Amino acid sequence: MTSSHAPPASSLAQKLIARASGRGHVTPGEIVNCRVDLAMFHDSSGPRRLKPMLEELGAEIWDKSRVVLVMDHYVPERDEESRRIVRIARDWAREQALPHVYDSQGICHVVVPQGGHIRPGMFCVGGDSHSPTGGAFGAYMFGIGSTEMLGVVVTGAIWLRVPETIAMHWSGGLRPGVCAKDMMLAMIARFGMNGADYQAVEFCGEAVRALSMQERMTLCNMSAELGAQTGLVAPDATTRDWLAQRPGAGLHPTPQDLLSDPGSADVQHDFDATTLSPQLAAPHSPARGVAIAEHADTRIDIAYIGACTGAKLDDLRFAARVLRGHKVAAGVQLMVAPASLQDRAQAESEGTMQVLLDAGASVLPSSCGACAGYGASFGESQTVISSTARNFKGRMGPASTQVFLGSAYTVAASALRGRITDPREVLA
Amino acid sequence: MNTTPQQPGAPVWHRTWHVGADIDTDALAPGAYMQHGIDTIARHCLENIMPNFAAEVRTGDVLVAGPNFGIGSSREQAASALVHLGVAAVIAPSYGGLFFRNAFNLGLLLLTCPQVDLLRDQARLRIEEPDLALVLPDGARLPCAPVPGFLLQMARAGGLLKQLKLRLAAQRG
């Protein structure tokens, strides 16, 4: 235990919040006001809602250099309504002379870190529930609604109830055909969709340290489905190497002391990555974990590799590992919507996209697409296996659409066999 | 669900609507209508769960739900659809964290009541101020978890936008 003069043990989440709220130390449960380093929003949550409210208030954006706008939900435009929404975003970006705008470049949670905007130590908000993705870089980032974003955009600050820290400690190492998506589906099945009770989840242990930056993003991204306010991975050499390749590298030195103090977590859960098998969530909840073997006879119509959760460069590579030299089963549509143009370009130059195309994939725009369910969705009574984050009833298609969730490995293997398939059978 | 006209100053009895656990934001504000304004979105609120809800709900009614109400997306239309339909409060044992913030920001009162099962057969209830207990027609009282004062104030003021407007007006003198 600490002596009376030693500073109390703080988790990474507490350290980030203490910094943002100008305090030496914060305690779980207390309500603090935090300065916001970065506010990110998209065409749906952003301009179309913020512009009229800002006009009603007669207020201005507190600091345009700290705002990033991404057009990803209603692009490419498909009808009059989506054209109107995207036009509002483009016109407003021009009127306001926003310095950081990514129009049709990919999905915000992937594009914003790739643009070098998220750095360790920052305190960030996003107008989207998958905003905890930024926690993969050792930043405190969480999702808020548009009216609360208005408050941030006007004042540069936001209140927060200091969360407890739940440590998800993964020892061992993942086996071939198993990835971060499987880790998340396993945790969500175990704790439920609100299991993290809006606290902070920190992913740690040797299996997490061994993950690539994009795989860490997948963990933090799906913290939303665990019901956490944020998901975090402490920055290390992997983080620094990745950031060194982004714009602005060297301008933002990583603050010291971005590690959770020993004993600072309020709860710790232990997992063994070595024994983890590919995971599957059945319709209509990400928490409905089922054994793949139970569904070995479930035929699929559509295999979908998309979204910030499941179509980053690493996910495309996982799919290509399964599909190299093969064709998808007759009657199965394999759709691939790379998460960003940058990821797509890299996948093209290294040959990954060609493997997917040769297998019969159709390539869709780099946007939220069917995952958001904002129009571009699947047909009646289709059975879908998807690398995305959510399979709520009626989200990605009519209420009759059956959506299973798995990793890009599992989606690709299922496309190959035409039924739900453990990727290890195909990779062996 | 008959309502009797309320006397001025008389306690307000709220009609109740009941839904189960894990009601997600897509059920409250379906994605297929998200491109439209709140009047359209509200017409489809909970249509996959209670097809008659949006047409029959009346101003002052309350929604009684199971655990994890509002899990899912950050779309605040999930809360504003309920406000638009006149829902006075939601009562549930737990909420999606993002929805919880959005609701108060939009002026919707959320009450956290662990004993929600005791409300299952109740067609109406009162919300007792200032301690936010639920009162049933037989006089039984169910306590709710305390709500931080600044959130209660925000809900009573009609949400964050209205509060910001007042604050900016005061700053400008």
Domains delineated in chain B: 14-171 (3.20.19.10)
CA distances to A42, A111, B26, B134 from A373, rounded to whole Å, are 15, 20, 9, 37
Chain B residue with minimal CA distance to A77?
A: B35
Residue-level pLDDT, tens digit, chain A, 428 residues: 444 567 789 999 999 999 999 999 999 999 999 999 999 999 999 999 999 999 999 999 999 999 999 999 999 999 999 999 999 999 999 999 999 999 999 999 999 999 999 999 999 999 999 999 999 999 999 999 999 999 999 999 999 999 999 999 999 999 999 999 999 999 999 999 999 999 999 999 999 999 999 999 999 999 999 999 999 999 999 999 999 999 887 777 778 789 999 999 999 999 999 999 999 999 999 999 999 999 999 999 999 999 999 999 999 999 999 999 999 999 999 999 999 999 999 999 999 999 999 999 999 999 999 998 886 689 899 999 999 999 998 889 888 999 999 999 999 999 999 999 999 999 97
Q: Answer whether A159 sits within 8 Å of B79, measured CB to CB.
A: no
CA distances to A12, A98, A320 from A204, rounded to whole Å, are 11, 37, 28
Q: Answer whether A57 sits within 8 Å of B161, measured CB to CB.
A: yes
* Residue A61: alpha-carbon gap to chain centroid: 26
Q: What is the CATH number of domain A280-427?
A: 3.30.499.10
For chain A, the domains span 31-161, 163-246+264-275, 280-427
Chain A residue with minimal CA distance to B25?
A: A392
Q: Answer whether B30 sits within 8 Å of A394, measured CB to CB.
A: yes
Give the residue from A328, A356, A354 showing the smallest Cα distance to A414: A328
Q: Give ipTM to 2 decimals.
A: 0.94
Token pair listed for B47: 């249509």
Rounded to the nearest 5°, which phi and psi values hold at A304?
A: -120, 120
Of A147, A374, A399, the CB nearest to B34: A374
Q: Answer whether A129 sits within 8 Å of B73, measured CB to CB.
A: yes
Token pair listed for A156: 């540069």
Sign of the Cα torsion B153, B158, B160, B166 reads: negative
Chain A residue with minimal CA distance to B74?
A: A129
SS3 A217: helix
Return the CATH superfamily for domain A163-246+264-275: Aconitase, Domain 2 (3.40.1060.10)
To the nearest whole angstrom, how far is the Cα of A31 from the nearest Cα of chain B?
9
pTM over 0.90: yes
In this structure, which topology does domain A31-161 adopt according to CATH?
A: Aconitase; domain 3 (3.30.499)
Token pair listed for B40: 């359209």
Residue at A267: amino acid letter: V
Spatial contact of A105 and A191, defined as CB atoms under 8 Å apart: no
Residue at A258: amino acid letter: L
Q: Answer whether B106 sits within 8 Å of A147, measured CB to CB.
A: yes
Give the C-alpha separation, A199 to B31, whole Å.
27
Q: Which residues of B touch A226 (CB under 8 A)?
A: none
Spatial contact of A203 and A170, defined as CB atoms under 8 Å apart: yes
Give residues 282 to 311 of A whose Cβ lies within 8 Å of B.
Answer: 285
- A31-161 against A163-246+264-275: fold identical: no
SS3 A296: coil
Mutate to test the interface with B, among A146, A161, A188 (most CBs of B within 10 A): A146
Alpha helices in A259-358 (DSSP H): 307-310, 313-323, 341-349, 352-358
Q: Answer whether A193 sits within 8 Å of B71, measured CB to CB.
A: yes
